[in-house]
Structure 1
Amino acid sequence: MFDVHHWQQLKTGLLMVLSLGLFVVGFGVSAHAATTATIVSQSSMTPTTYVRKAATGWTYNLDTSGSTVTFGAKSHYLANYPSTTWEATKKMTLKKNGANYLYYYISNVGNTVHGWILHGYLKAGATTATVVGMAKKELGKPYSYGGNGPSAFDCSGLTTYVYKNAADKTLPRTAQAQYNTYAHVSSSNLKQGDLAFFGGSTSSISHVGIYVGDGKMIDAQNYGVITEAISAPWWHLVGYARPMSLS
């Protein structure tokens, strides 16, 4: 005897399986479909440092063919780089779905992480961690009068080198000029990355170091690039200055 109820259950089950199969196939196609855009303009740019403005952005690999760009895989998630200073060296305006979007090509200081990212995820600046980290990388290198790095330094050569390479910030070359140029800060407002100046007076600055916290600085002196106390008896502290605000 033909069981109508059983047939209805079987038909309903088959329809559900077919529907699920179509959904999975459709989802797979859309999930893996490459996103393309049209290049409106592209150019190199003066290297500029940025920090993350939002932690939700991703960098992408972009493949270019003529005026068409294909978005490759996501490569790096900004949430994983809270203390990284990024350097943008190229920019590209892309048209997607009738709207224009500006992308920057960015890399970290060591150039180990890089990719294209929507510029709105970034803001101009540098991080304390990058500046202090760069200074620490120079520890142990010898002192050389007039040394600009990267193999040897004098005191202002070190501060100039660190800020240029960590933050794209060009400092004046001498300790006196650095003291004269930037806003002075009090010891109660001192932050890592600030410069500490020493000498006979405000008009006779003879030494400079980078404050790294806990009353210590990294500086280039006769024993090379070392970490030492700002209060060391062989230095006469004149004051502090802040070349730039760090995140």
Structure 2
Amino acid sequence: MLKRFASIIVAATLAFSGLAFTTGEQAEAATGKFAYSKVNGLNIRTAPSLSSKVTTTMNKGQRYTYLGKVGSFYKINYKGTHRYISASSTYTYLKANTKTATAKKVTTASASSARTKLVAESKKYLGTPYRYGGTTTSGFDCSGYTGHVYKKAINKSIPRDSRSQYANSKKVSKSAIQAGDLVFFSHNGSTIQHVGMALSKTQMINSETGGVKYASFTSGYWAPRYVGAGSYL
């Protein structure tokens, strides 16, 4: 999320400046990496060449957003414009924004922990009977089960019915499904009528006829009824 947000900010900033940055440059900028000067009076050039024009200089400790390396030069964002400085370790160095890197690490670890808790909690109810409208351990319907697991595992409330759970989730492509994401199905090809919780890219745990059980959503009964996946993490 943080990386995506940073990318949006970078793109907006560059669009405002009137300079078109490539996807690769936006990706580099989104990492929060900066090019620092080790010396006073380091030349900032218009092109990655010692024969190119020097537009200004930067002093020791100054930094500019790093956009990639071109030959023996670092490409930087200088006031919304491509500029270049020497990539020699004698004069410059690269360093990521510590706060951004730390926040990203914490967010990733938090999401991973939540997924682990969701999987562990979901398995506690294997064999619990199916009950239409059920939301307790006496019996669950499909969305009552996923809602119960989310609340117990990570204290997160999600919408009651499967259709609303799908509508309000952050959509996830099938190839990007992770344990803890929700997978949704339709018996009539349009309306969402069933939900399960993914344990992997192929297997889910859900409350259906026969109670809470494991099932594949890429083969067998549920495969042709699959509509999409969503995340609340």
Length-normalised TM-score, structure 1: 0.47
Structure (1/2) with the larger strand percentage: 1
Query: Considering only CA atoms, is the larger Rg found in Structure 1 or Structure 2?
Result: 1
Length-normalised TM-score, structure 2: 0.49
